[in-house]
Amino acid sequence: MRRLLAYLGHALRVLTLAGLVIHFALTLLYVFPLNPVKMELGLLTSLTIGTYFPQNWSLFAPTPVQSTQALLVRCLSTEEIPSAESNGLPSEGWEDVSSAHFAQAQRHRLSAYERLVRPLQNSLRQYLHGGPDLYPFHEACRKGDAAACQVRDTALQPRREQAARMFRKIGSAFCREAFPEKDFGAVALRFRERHAVPWSERHGGNPKEEDFELGVFKLDEEVALPGIYAAEGT
Amino acid sequence: MNHLLHKGWGWLANEPHQRQGLRALQVCLGLMLLFRASTEGRFASYLWGPTGIGAGSTLDFLHPRLAPIADRLFTVEQGPLLLVLVMGVSSVCLVFGWSTRIATAGALLSSLALASRLPELGDGGDNVARLVLTYMLFALPADRQPRRGSLEVWLHNISILAIGLQIGVLYLTSGFLKATGDKWSNGTAMYLISQVEWFSHPAMRAPFQNPYLTTLASYGTLFFQLWFPIAILTRLRLLWLAFGVVMHLGIATLMGLICFSVAMIGLELFLVTDKEYAWLSDWHQRTINPRLHALWRSRPVQALVQLSGQGQRFNDVLASRQRMTSTPPAHTDVMSSQTTPLRTEDR
């Protein structure tokens, strides 16, 4: 009996060690860029590491973030909605929700502001690029691979819809909390990208800004309020 | 080769390793989760509640039959609050070393559940914390003294090895990916990051316009990460880890990534061996303590303290500490000290 127990103990030790080696071999394969082995075993790594031990260490790599992405919100009263859809959106009254969070997070380092803005910022990044798994397809598409473009666009569609749902909730929470006395029916959302000043123009250059319309969404009347936009957010 | 295998097997089988490092990691992860629970708790309803912004499900990692049951937690307002409470209590236990295995399980389950509801909230710190908490389930509780060569020692050492390998994977991947990017190789990466409002304090912008600083910081980060898995196996380990701690303190202050930085500092402190902790403690006792005492006793400091009216209380504390440190060290024969005659008389 003692010999059997000793044998089982040894077997268990060997098994755990082998499991550790296999686990980290698959982990390395999962986190590394696309290569021939990953093309062969990609499904296995997605089913194991991707499902139970997901990880991504590519923030600031291979290319660091080079622009500030911000969500602009324009709360629309019921009278403004038709004009927004037919004649374009109002040019005034847009609120930069992201930058307000950044300013507060920089003022209060040990606060929740940096964390609270993450769902918004990560959704903006997802809306724009779809996530790290689509980077190779973006790159291949940029080089003229039509099949890669199609795969990318198909994968992007549901992710953009998911991100847009997040924008709608955050925009609605902002409108309802920042202007509690007003009666809004919709929220218009705009995505602003403020590019870093290139190194060569660092002493006198100004950051270039680009705005993209995300659309007009029906106000979400049910979304819980965070309690930070009461004084116009910000 | 045989000798190496034998040595490796012995390392895993005989004695538990990194006990002090594991405590440091538990304290750091506990502080990180405590920060999360205390700052995010009041936003639980907004972030994870039934009408909150989170809409995810545990279906990603749970069985389709189990996931709907787990997801019920998010259908009531109290569900997310309960999870934050579990996270808070677990984090306090981790910091103080109370029931660390149960606390690890509590911290892991609450983090996993909250992350499944709102995956967009997390950063690299949350990601590595969840992985490391999973490995830590197999580590020995803080106060356990196991039998030499037992199975729990083996499992503890396997979990230690897993945490170490995970840190290696993290740094190697991050460094490798950076090395393939042109902004890192042309030395402007840190300048560009300093321009992004989300990740940089305004105070970072002007200094990183300096070509020497931005090149040094970009190459330094790249070099540090790429060489990390090798450097920690050499005599440069403590230097590398100290650099890592300083770098992550900078990231916490200038970039505001508090959770990520605290988790990374914990992982760096984890890699200091028990022998090195003993050596550092000894060095601290021999070098730093006497200097601090001398500084405290110096006239300018005493004058300042007397002015502030706090001097007497601190001096009393200092005197009592000195009495404690002047008692015989552990390895001397206590029976031969002043207490011996009293005990003899008692008998």
The reply to whether A147 falls in a domain is: no
- State whether A23 and A119 are in the same domain: no
The reply to whether A134 falls in a domain is: no
Hunting for tokens 């103080």 — which residue is that? B96
Highest mean pLDDT out of A105-119, A190-204, B158-172, B307-321: B158-172
pLDDT in tens, A163-182: 999 999 999 999 999 999 89
Substitution target in B165, B177, B219 with the highest count of A β-carbons within 10 Å is B177
Minimal Cβ distance to A226: which of B43, B123, B134 = B43
Query: Chain B residues with CB inside 8 Å of A202's CB?
Result: 191, 209
Hunting for tokens 């199609």 — which residue is that? A150
The reply to whether A140 falls in a domain is: no
Mean pLDDT calculated for residue range B341-346: 36
Does A232 score more than 60 pLDDT? no
Share of chain B above pLDDT 70, in %: 88
Token reading at B325 = 């440190």
CA distance B10 to chain A (A): 12
Domain count, chain B: 1
CA distance A50 to chain B (A): 10
Q: State the Cα torsion B257-B261-B262-B267 to the nearest 10°.
A: 150
Distance CA A101, CA A216 (A): 23
CB contact under 8 A, A166 and B259: no
Residue type at position A3: R
Query: Chain A residues with CB inside 8 Å of B188's CB?
Result: 199
- State whether A15 and A119 are in the same domain: no
Query: Chain A residues with CB inside 8 Å of B172's CB?
Result: 28
Confidence of residue B323 (pLDDT cuts 50, 70, 90): low
Share of chain A above pLDDT 90, in %: 66
Query: Chain A residues with CB inside 8 Å of B13's CB?
Result: 13
- State whether A35 and A84 are in the same domain: no
Domain that holds residue B113: 8-166
Does B294 score more than 60 pLDDT? yes
- State whether A97 and A209 are in the same domain: yes
Query: Chain B residues with CB inside 8 Å of A57's CB?
Result: 124, 169-170, 173-174, 177
Distance CA B27, CA B97 (A): 8
The reply to whether A78 falls in a domain is: yes
- State whether A101 and A181 are in the same domain: yes
Minimal Cβ distance to A61: which of B161, B181, B191 = B181
Residue type at position B45: S
Answer whether B81 touches A (CB < 8 Å): no
Within a 13 Å sphere around the CA of A51, how many CA atoms are in the beta-carbon half?
A: 12
Number of H helices, E strands in chain A: 8, 4
What's the full length of chain B, in residues?
347
CA pseudo-torsion sign A80, A81, A82, A88: positive
Answer whether B230 touches A (CB < 8 Å): no
Return the number of CB contacts < 8 Å for A and B. 177
In angstroms, the Cα distances linking A144 to A78, A138, B180, B327 are 45, 10, 21, 78
CB contact under 8 A, B192 and A65: yes
Token reading at B69 = 């049951």
CB contact under 8 A, B195 and A28: no
- State whether A71 and A115 are in the same domain: yes
- Give contacts of B 12-51 with A, CB under 8 A: 12-13, 35-36, 39-40, 42-43, 45-47, 49, 51
Domain that holds residue A112: 67-124+165-218
What secondary structure does DSSP assign to A160-223, as a single string? Answer: HHHHHHHHHHHHHHHHHHH-TTS-EEEEEEEEEEEEPPPGGGTTT----EEEEEEEEEE--SSS
Using CA coordinates, name the residue in chain A closest to B166.
A24
Distance CA A41, CA A48 (A): 11
The reply to whether A226 falls in a domain is: no
Distance CA A48, CA B155 (A): 21
Residue type at position A158: P
Domain count, chain A: 2
pLDDT in tens, B41-99: 999 999 999 999 999 999 988 889 999 999 999 999 999 999 999 999 999 999 999 99
pLDDT in tens, B189-235: 999 999 998 888 888 889 999 999 999 999 999 999 999 999 999 99
Does B2 score more than 90 pLDDT? no
Does B331 score more than 80 pLDDT? no
Confidence of residue B340 (pLDDT cuts 50, 70, 90): very low
Using CA coordinates, name the residue in chain A closest to B149.
A9
What's residue A82's pLDDT?
A: 65
Using CA coordinates, name the residue in chain B closest to A33.
B177
In this predicted structure, which of A212-216, B85-89, B263-267 has the lowest mean pLDDT?
A212-216
Confidence of residue B287 (pLDDT cuts 50, 70, 90): confident
pLDDT in tens, A137-148: 898 898 999 999
Query: Chain A residues with CB inside 8 Å of B120's CB?
Result: 118-119, 122-123, 126, 166
Answer whether B278 touches A (CB < 8 Å): no
Does A70 score more than 90 pLDDT? yes
Residue type at position B79: G
- Which helix (H) or strand (E) segment holds residue A73: the answer is strand A67-77
Answer whether B256 touches A (CB < 8 Å): yes
Q: What is the ipTM of this complex?
A: 0.91
Share of chain B above pLDDT 90, in %: 75
Using CA coordinates, name the residue in chain A closest to B259.
A115
Residue type at position B83: L
Confidence of residue B335 (pLDDT cuts 50, 70, 90): very low
Hunting for tokens 């500084």 — which residue is that? B295
The reply to whether B42 falls in a domain is: yes
Answer whether B52 touches A (CB < 8 Å): yes
Query: Chain B residues with CB inside 8 Å of A207's CB?
Result: 195
Distance CA B195, CA A69 (A): 12
Query: Chain A residues with CB inside 8 Å of B169's CB?
Result: 24, 27-28, 31, 55, 57
The reply to whether B49 falls in a domain is: yes
Pairing relation of β-strands A67-77 and A184-195?
antiparallel
Confidence of residue B1 (pLDDT cuts 50, 70, 90): confident
Does B344 score more than 80 pLDDT? no
Residues contacting residue B256 through CB under 8 Å, at least 6 positions apart: A105, A106, A109, A114, B199, B201
CB contact under 8 A, B124 and A63: no
Substitution target in A26, A47, A57 with the highest count of B β-carbons within 10 Å is A57
- State whether A76 and A19 are in the same domain: no
Q: State the Cα torsion A135-A140-A144-A150 to the nearest 10°.
A: -70
Token reading at B229 = 């898995």
Minimal Cβ distance to B177: which of A9, A58, A122 = A58
Answer whether B161 touches A (CB < 8 Å): yes
The reply to whether B2 falls in a domain is: no
Does A233 score more than 60 pLDDT? no
Mean pLDDT calculated for residue range A158-164: 94
Does A90 score more than 60 pLDDT? yes
Answer whether B134 touches A (CB < 8 Å): yes
Distance CA A140, CA A152 (A): 10
